[in-house]
Structures are given as C-alpha cells and as structure tokens.
C-alpha cells in the first residue's frame, strides 16, 4: 500500500495527490502538521532529512521531493504517458519541471506563502518572478494544448498547483489567456481533484 505524508494546503503535496488520482492508485493519506512542527521531528526526519512534505512510501521504497515522486510514480505506474522515455520528449518534460521548481516555486508559491502564511520573502520580487514564468508558459501554450507533449505529462502536473493558486499570492491571471485555457483543460482531466478534496 502506498503511503503519502502530506500537508493539505501544500502545492507540492497536491501535485502527488493529482498524479495518484490520474493513475487511479489507492493510497493512505498521512497528514503532517507543519504548523505544529511535525515535519521536524526525529521520526519524520528519518523519512526525509530535509524535513519537507511530501514523502511517499511504496512498499519498501521511500521517496521525498515532489519532482522525484512524480518521476517515480509516472515511470512505475504510468507507462510512457506521463513521462515519455525518448530523449527529446523526456527533455521537454524536464524543462517544464525546472520551471515548476524555479519561477513557479520561488515566484508564485512564495508570493502565496507571504500573503497566506506571513513568510518573510519580498512579495513584489516573488510576484515579478512568478509572472515571468507565466509569460514563458503563455508563449508555449498559445500553440500547444499541453506543456511538453500532445497530451498531459508530469510537466503539467508539476506546474499546475502554483499556477491555479497564483491569485492567492496576488498574481492575477487575466493577462495570460492561454494559461487560463490550459487550466480549464487540466481541470477537465478524468480524476481531477481540487487542492481541498
């Protein structure tokens, strides 16, 4: 049985819940209360020495970091649909995985953390960096339905949470019409769930 250590409002944990739903995999949801510091306990640090969610346990395999977990699940359970094996196709996916861990995380996600969780980052810088990532995404999906292939991949899953949650950080999406259409396509996928489901 797959176990997912998760904090419900974490965008990175949400990515994993989305892929598990798309793959129709059953799993045990194990909440980790970040506000209470449960991610810094000795027991949790044995699972992830970085003290972060998500953490996934699949039988005897323990994986931390949302990107690594997406790759693991896609490769083990998703055939080649969610993570193509061809060198060029895989590189396309990895480019957008990088965007998710840079502009989306350090821009959109941090802006959200400043506004909601009162984190000490510079809100305007985070918002500007997030918008730069959205602008790159807008260019890509003006002519494509999906970020890295002619079908959804883990690249789309990796970018989706912090894009859809961008308004929580004061970054509105009206100036990115293609991004808004991409969000609607993503939300139409079978198995889709919102962050609070």
Express each pLDDT in 134-187 by its tens digit: 999 999 999 999 999 999 999 999 999 999 999 999 999 999 999 999 999 999
Residues of the chain with CATH 3.40.30.10: 2-77
Q: How far apart are CA 189 and CA 57, in angstroms?
A: 26
Which residues make up the CATH 1.20.1050.10 domain(s) of the chain? 87-187
**Residue-wise burial string across 110-124, b where 16 or more C-beta atoms lie within 10 A, e elsewhere:** bbbbbbeeeeeeeee
What architecture (CATH level 2) is domain 2-77? 3-Layer(aba) Sandwich (3.40)
- The neighbour count for residue 174, using CB atoms within 10 Å, is 8
Phi, psi dihedral angles at 173 (to 5 degrees): -105, 5
Q: What is the mean pLDDT of residues 79-90?
A: 94
CATH of domain 87-187: 1.20.1050.10
Q: Is the pLDDT of residue 31 over 90?
A: yes
- Answering whether pTM is above 0.75, one says yes
Asked whether the beta carbons of 11 and 195 are under 8 A apart, the reply is yes
Measured distance CA(100)–CA(32) in Å, rounded: 23
CA distance 22 to 5: 18
Pick from 145, 11, 4, 154: nearest CA to 75: 154
Tokens 């002619």 -> residue: 150
> Which segments of 27-153 does DSSP mark as H helices, in order?
42-47, 66-77, 87-99, 110-117, 123-141
The total of other beta-carbon atoms located within 10 Å of residue 101's CB is 17
The mean pLDDT value of the chain amounts to 96
Residue 197: pLDDT band (50, 70, 90) is confident
């Amino acid at each position: 049985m797959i176990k997912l250590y998760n904090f419900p409002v974490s965008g990175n944990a949400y990515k994993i819940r989305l892929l598990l739903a798309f793959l129709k995999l059953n799993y045990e949801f194990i909440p980790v209360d970040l506000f209470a510091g449960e991610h810094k306990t000795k027991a949790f640090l044995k699972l992830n020495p970085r003290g972060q969610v998500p953490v996934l346990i699949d039988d005897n395999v323990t994986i931390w970091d949302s990107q690594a977990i997406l790759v693991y699940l896609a490769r083990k359970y998703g055939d080649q649909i969610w993570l193509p094996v061809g060198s060029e196709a895989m590189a396309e996916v990895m480019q957008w995985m990088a965007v998710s861990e840079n502009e989306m995380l350090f821009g959109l996600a941090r802006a959200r953390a400043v506004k909601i969780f009162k984190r000490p980052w510079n809100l305007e810088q985070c918002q500007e960096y997030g918008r730069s990532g959205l602008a790159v995404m807008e260019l890509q999906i003006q002519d494509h339905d999906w970020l890295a292939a002619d079908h959804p991949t883990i690249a789309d899953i990796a970018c989706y949470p912090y894009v859809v949650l961008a308004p929580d950080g004061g970054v509105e999406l009206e100036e990115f019409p293609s991004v808004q259409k991409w969000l609607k396509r993503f939300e139409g996928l079978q198995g889709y769930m919102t962050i609070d489901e």
